[in-house]
Structure 1
Amino acid sequence: MGRGKPMRKRFWRLRSNPLRRRDDIVEGWVVAAVWTVAVVGGTTVGLVAAHATEATLDQQRAQRHPVNAVLVADVPKPTVGKWSSGDKTLAKVRWTTPDGSSRTDRTLVDTGLKSGTHLVVWQDGRGTLVTEPPSATEAAVEGAVMGGFAGMSLVGGVYAVGALARWRLDQRRMAGWDREWDLIGPKWGHRTG
C-alpha cells in the first residue's frame, strides 16, 4: 500500500470519476469550506474576542481606583446555617469621592467587623462603588476563556451549517436514486413486495 493511496481516498469527490455526480463535487467543496472557515474563522474570532475582553478589563483597571472607606455600623457574625457561607454580607460604608464629597452606600464586607473599621473599596471616576477590577493575570485568563468560547461557537455554527448542507445533498441523492430505480427496476422483471 503506497503513501498516495489514502490521499486519493480522502479527495475522491474532487477526482475525475465516471460515477461522480454533481452533488459529490458540491459536497467536496462544502467539506473543504467548512474546514477552512472552522480553522481560519474560529482562530480569528477567538483571538479577536480574547483581545477585546482583555482590552475591556484593562480599561476597567484604568478607570477604577481603590479608596479608603469606614464601616458605618457593626456587622454581626451570622449563624452558620444550611444556606449561609458566613464570610461576607452587605453593610453600609462611607467614603469620599474624587470631588471631595462624602458618600454612603452598601457593599460586601467580611462579617464580624465593628463600626469604624477602615476598609478599602473601589470606585469609578464618578465616585460610584464598583467591584474590584481583575488583575492582569485574571484578565488574560478571562480573555482566553472568552476567546475559546467565541471560537468554538463559530466552529459549532459552521459545522451545523455544513452538516445541514450535506444532509440536504444526501436527500437529493436519495431522491435521484429513487427516480433512477423507478426507471430501471421494471426492466429487471418481477418485483417483490
Structure 2
Amino acid sequence: MREGKPANRKRRRTKVPLWRWRNNPVRRRDDVLEAWLLLTIWVLIAVGGTVAGLATARAADQVFAQQRAERTPLPAVLLDDVPRAATGMGRDLASARVRWTTSDGATHSGMTLVTTGKQAGSTVRIWIDAQGKLSTQPPTPTRAAVEAGLFGVAAALAVSGVVFGIGGYGRWYLDRRRIQRWDREWALVGPKWGHKTR
C-alpha cells in the first residue's frame, strides 16, 4: 500500500513577527513609517480613548451631582385638569399649570410636566432650581452613574473613531505612495525582463 498525504494537513504560513521593525532587504522607509503609525494609533486609542471617557464620565457625574444639590422638590397645586392620554401606554406626562408657595411665603405659578389623569386641585410634586424657577427632576445617583458611564463610553468611542479614521487615511496614503513607487521601479526594471539573455 502506498502512503498518501494526510487528508487534514494544514498549510502553515511563515510569519515573521514585527517584520516592519526588523532590518531586512525588502523593508522600505514607508514600512517603518507605517509601523510607527500603527503603534501611535493603538496607543492613542488605548490612552486617549480611556482618558476622554473617564474625563467625560467624571464631568457628567459632577453636573448631575450639582443638579441634585441645587434642585429642591416642593408640593404644588394643579390648576387645570390633566385628562389621561388615549394611548394608555404606561406613565404618560402632559404639560399643565401649577401653583406653589416657596419657603419665604411667595406664591408662584408656571407650566410643568405632570402625570396624566389628575384633577385640578390635586397636589403634585415639582422641582425648582436655585433661582426659584421650575426645573426638571434631577437624575437619581444610580441613573446619574449610568448616564455618566454612557457619556464616557460615547466619548471614548468618538475619540477612538477619529484616531482610527486619521490612521486609516495615513495608511491609505502610504499604500498609494508605495504603489506609485513600485510602478516607477517596474517601468525601469520590467522591460529588461522581457528580453532573452544570450
Q: When the two structures are superposed, what TM-score results if normalisation uses the length of structure 2?
A: 0.86
Match of 1:160 among 145, 159, 165: 165
Q: How many residues align?
A: 183
Match of 1:117 among 91, 115, 122: 122
Greater shift, 105-114 or 159-168, is seen at 105-114
Output the amino acid matched with 1:165. G
More helix by share: 1
Distance (whole Å) between structure 2 residues aligned to residue 175 and residue 108 of structure 1: 64
Larger Rg: 2
> Percent identity at matched positions?
46
**1:69-127 residue CA offsets vs partner (Å, 9 max, x unmatched):** 0111222334x159x87832211100123543211111111222222111110000111
Distance (whole Å) between structure 2 residues aligned to residue 156 and residue 178 of structure 1: 33
Q: Structure 1 unaligned segments of length 5 or more: list them.
A: 1-5
Q: Structure 1 residue 23 and structure 2 residue 30: aligned?
A: yes
Match of 1:70 among 77, 82, 85: 77
Distance (whole Å) between structure 2 residues aligned to residue 86 and residue 150 of structure 1: 32
Distance (whole Å) between structure 2 residues aligned to residue 45 and residue 24 of structure 1: 30
Q: Structure 1 residue 37 and structure 2 residue 48: aligned?
A: no
Output the amino acid matched with 1:40. V
| 1:3 counterpart residue number | none
| 1:141 counterpart residue number | 146
Greater shift, 108-117 or 162-171, is seen at 108-117
CA RMSD of aligned residues (A): 2.1
Match of 1:129 among 122, 126, 134: 134
Q: Residues 137, 85 of structure 1: CA spacing in aligned structure 2 closer, same or farther, 3 A cutoff?
A: closer
* 1:69-88 equivalent positions in 2, closer than 5 A: 69-78=76-85, 80-81=86-87, 87-88=92-93
Aligned-partner SS, 2:16: helix
Contact 1:37 1:158 in 2 (8 A): yes
| 2:5 counterpart residue number | none
Distance (whole Å) between structure 2 residues aligned to residue 87 and residue 27 of structure 1: 56
- 4+ residue segments displaced more than 6 Å: none
Contact 1:60 1:133 in 2 (8 A): yes
Aligned-partner SS, 1:11: coil
Aligned-partner SS, 1:95: strand
Q: Structure 1 residue 182 and structure 2 residue 182: aligned?
A: no
